[in-house]
Amino acid sequence: MATAGFRPCGDFKSDYASDTRIFDTAASRWWCVGGVLLLCLLPVVSETVFDLKYELSLLIQIGYLGVAALGLNILVGFTGQISIGHAAFFGFGAFASPFLNNNFGIPVFFAIPLAGLMSTAVGMLFGIPAARLKGLYLAIATLAAQFILQDFFGRADWFSGGTHGAPAGPFTIFGFAFDSDASYFYVVLVYVVALYLAAANLMRTRDGRALVAVRDHYLSAEMMGINLTKYRTMSFGISSFYAGIGGALYGHYLGFVSVEGFTILFSIQFLGMIIIGGLGSIMGSLMGTAFMVLLPEVMDGLTGALAGTPVDIALGLKDNLAYLREVAIGVTIILFLVFEPDGLAHRWQQIKAYWKLYPFSY
Amino acid sequence: MGDGITRPSDRILEVEDVSLAFGGVRALTDVGFAVAKGELFAIIGPNGAGKTSMLNCISGRYRPQKGTIRFQGSDVTHLSPNHRATIGIGRTFQNLALFGHMSVLDNIMVGRHHLLRSNVLSGALYWLGGAQKEELAHRREVEEIIDFLEIQHVRKATAGTLSYGLRKRVELARAIALKPELILLDEPMAGMNLEEKEDMARYIVDLNEEWGMTVVMIEHDMGVVMDISHRVMVLDFGRRIAEGLPAEVMAHPQVRRAYLGVADDEEVADEEVAEDGAEAGAGR
C-alpha cells in the first residue's frame, strides 16, 4: 500500500522492508527527490534567466553549515553529549583539506573526505574525556578543545599558514573546476544529500540505536551490551567527521581560510542551529541551519525597510538599527526554547499531522 | 552446597561468598548460592535486604569486594556489564529503565545489539553493506518476541508514553531480545494490578519452560513466588537466611521472623538473627 495516496489513513504495510524506510510514504519520498531535482535546476536558471548568485551563495552556506550542524546534532541530540568546540573541528577540516592539497598534491576531490577523517581522529582524541565526563564538566572539556585548536591554527604555520591563513584550491574533476557559485552548488548538494542519507541510515541501524540508547538511559544501555566508552567516543568521531567535511567544503568555497573565523561564538551558533531545528532530528539540523542563515537576511531587509520611517525616528534607533539583527537572533533562540523546545522539525511534524486529518480535528 | 543441584555441570550461575559494602553499609555479607540450568529461582527478602544489590553484582553494575561469581563455569566477577550481556546475562530493572524517546520496536532492537554485526560504515551505507538484510532478519525475530508478550498494538509507540504495566512488558521484551541464557528480573510485577500480574506470571513461566531460559527473579508478591518458582532464597540484612523449595522456605522460622518481626525485645532478636544467619550460611 506504500504506493497509494499521499498519506494512507492507517498502517497497511505488509513487509518489514517497507516498514523501515526513511520516508514513510512514497509521496514524501518523491517530494524530497523532486525538491532536490528542483534545486539542481537553480544554478541553470541563475546562469540563463535571472541572476540568483546571492541566493545560491546563501544555499551553499546552508549546505556546508548544515552538514556540520548535523554532526553536532548526532553528538548532542542523538547521543546526549555536549560540545561547545564544534567550530574548532569545523575549522580543522577547513585547514586540513587545503593542507593536503597544497603540500601533498592530493586532489581536492579526495582531500575533502580525507580532511573529514583527519577531523574524526582529532575529534575522537578530544572525545576521550567524554567517556568519563558528563554535562557541564564535559562542556568545559570541549571548551578546552575549542581553545587548543584555535591556538593551534594561529601558531602551526606548517598546517594552517598561521596568521596568514591558507589558500584553498578549487574543487576539480577531470580538469573541470567547480569555482563558481553555480557549479560549486552541485558539489555541496551532493555532499548534503549523501551525508544526510548516511545519517538517516545510521540512525535506523545498530550503532545509531546504540547512540540513542546511551542518551536515553546509559545504565540500561550498558546492560544491553553497549560499550559506553566506545559509543561516546565514537559519537565525537562521527560529529567531527561531519564538522570536518563541512569545514572543508567551506574552505574550498571561499578559496582562502583564515584563522579568525572559528571562534567559540561560531560554536554557540552551531548549538543554536540544532536547538532551533530540533535536537535529535536529522532534517531539523538542516531546517535550523537554514533558519540561522536566513534570519539575518530577513532582519537586514526589515531594518533596511525601517530606516527613515516614523518608527525609526520615534524610537531614535538611527545608527543602532543594525543591532536589531543581533537582538533578533538572541530573542528567537529564547522564544524557541520557551515555545518550541523540540524545534522546527517538531513543528513540521505537527503541521503534517494537522493536514493529514484536515478538516477534522482528530 | 545443599542446594539440591546434583550435577555440577548443571549450574549455570554460581555465587560464592559475595560481600558488598557501601562505606559502612554492608549490603551483602558472604552470600552464596547456585542456580541450575533451566531453573526458575526467586530471591525474596524484606526491603533493604540486598536483593537488588545481589542482582547488580550478577549483572555487573556493582563489583563485589569479596567473592566470585561464575557463569557457565567461567569467572565473570570482573567482567564489564556490557561484556556480560554478550555472554548471555540479560536483565530488567526495578524502576523502569526503558529508552524513553525511542519506539518500542527500537527499544527491543537495542537488545539485539550484540547479535548484530553492522557498524557505522555499513550502517550508513544501509543498502550496500548488508545492514538492511540483517536488520530485516532480526526484525522478524523481534516480532516473535512482540507476539509472545502481546505488545503488537504499541510497537510503534514511544516507550516513554506507555502505561506502567506495558513498560514493564517492553522491558522484558528487550531483555529477551538479548537471547540470554540467564535472565534476571528485578520485581517484574511491582505496581501491577491482579490481571497484569497474572499475565506477567504466565510470560515468566513460558519463558522458563518454552524458551528454556534460566530465570532469577526478585519478587515481593509471595503468592506468585510460591506458585511459579522452583527454588527460593531469602535474604535479610545482606545475609542469606534460608534457601530451598518454596514451601520449606515459608516454614523456616527465621524467614517468619524476618518478615513478621518478633514480638519481644527486637534489638536482641535482630542480632540473634544475624548470628544465626552467619552460622546457617557457613553450615551449608
Which grid cell is B127? Answer: 543498502
- Cross-sheet strand order for the sheet of B182-186: B89-91, B182-186, B214-218, B40-44, B231-236, B239-244
- Where do the domains of chain B lie? 1-88+180-252+272-284
- At residue B234, the pLDDT reads 93
- The helix (run of H) or strand (run of E) holding residue B73 is none
Four-point Cα dihedral A93, A98, A100, A102, nearest 10: -170
- Write out the H or E segment, with its range, that includes residue B241: strand B239-244
Average pLDDT for runs of 10 along chain B of length 284 = 60 93 92 94 92 94 93 93 93 90 94 90 88 92 94 92 91 94 92 90 94 93 91 93 91 84 53 47 39
Q: Are residues B140 and A16, on separate chains, in Cβ contact within 8 Å?
A: yes
Which amino acid, A230?
A: K
SS3 category, B192: coil
Using one digit for the tens of pLDDT, what is the confidence trace for B166-189? 999 999 999 999 999 999 999 999
Q: Chain B partners of A208 at a C-beta cutoff of 8 Å?
A: 123
pLDDT in the model for residue A331: 87
Question: What pLDDT is attached to residue B277?
Answer: 45
End-to-end Cα, chain A, rounded Å:
23
A297 touching chain B per CB within 8 A = no
Q: Do A201 and B118 touch (CB under 8 A)?
A: no
A11: which chain B residues are within 8 Å (Cβ-Cβ)?
A: 156
Mutation to test the A interface, candidates B61, B76, B80, B82, most A Cβ within 10 Å: B82
Distance from CA of A341 to the nearest CA of B (A): 15
* Interface contact A345, partner B, CB < 8 A: no
| Interface predicted TM-score (ipTM) of this complex, two decimals | 0.85
> Which residues does A78 contact at the CB level (< 8 Å), separation at least 6?
A203, A208, A211, A212, A215, A235, A280
Chain A residues with beta carbon closer than 8 angstroms to that of B176 = none
CB contact under 8 A, B113 and A206: yes
Query: Over chain B, what is the mean pLDDT?
Result: 87
Answer whether A225 sits within 8 Å of B126, measured CB to CB: no
Q: How far apart are CA B173 and CA B153, in angstroms?
A: 14
> Which residues of chain B from 20 to 39 reach within 8 Å of chain A, CB to CB?
none
Residue of A79, A206, A229, A232 best to disrupt the B interface, most CBs of B under 10 A? A206
Residues paired with B43 in a beta bridge:
B218, B233
Count CB-CB contacts under 10 A for residue B209.
11
Residues 215-274, chain B: which have Cβ within 8 Å of A?
Answer: none
Q: Do B116 and A206 touch (CB under 8 A)?
A: yes
- For residues B16 and B108, what is the distance between their CA atoms, to the nearest angstrom? 33
CA of A192 to nearest chain B CA: how many angstroms apart?
14
What are the chain B neighbours of A346 within 8 Å (beta carbons)? Answer: none
Q: List the pLDDT tens digit at each of the 362 positions of chain A.
A: 444 456 666 777 788 888 888 887 788 889 899 999 999 999 888 888 888 889 999 999 999 999 999 999 999 999 999 999 999 999 999 999 999 999 999 999 999 999 999 999 999 999 888 878 888 899 999 999 999 999 999 999 999 988 888 999 899 888 888 888 889 999 999 999 999 999 999 999 999 999 999 999 999 999 999 999 999 999 999 999 999 999 999 999 999 999 988 999 999 999 999 999 999 999 999 999 999 999 888 888 877 787 777 777 777 666 666 677 778 778 888 888 888 888 898 888 888 878 877 777 66
Query: Whose grid coordinates read 514480638?
Result: B263
CA gap A195, A248 in Å, rounded: 14
Give me Rg for the CA atoms of chain A.
Answer: 22
Total-model pTM: 0.89
Interface probe, candidates B113, B116, B132, chain A, greatest A C-beta count within 10 A = B113
What fold, for B1-88+180-252+272-284? Rossmann fold (3.40.50)
Residue A178 backbone dihedrals phi, psi, to 5 degrees: -90, 70
d(CA B169, CA B107): 12
Q: Which amino acid is at B45?
A: G
Chain A nearest C-alpha distance from B13 (Å)? 17
| Pairing of the two strands A172-173 and A176-177 | antiparallel
Residues 176-205 of A with CB under 8 A from B: 198-199, 201-202, 204-205
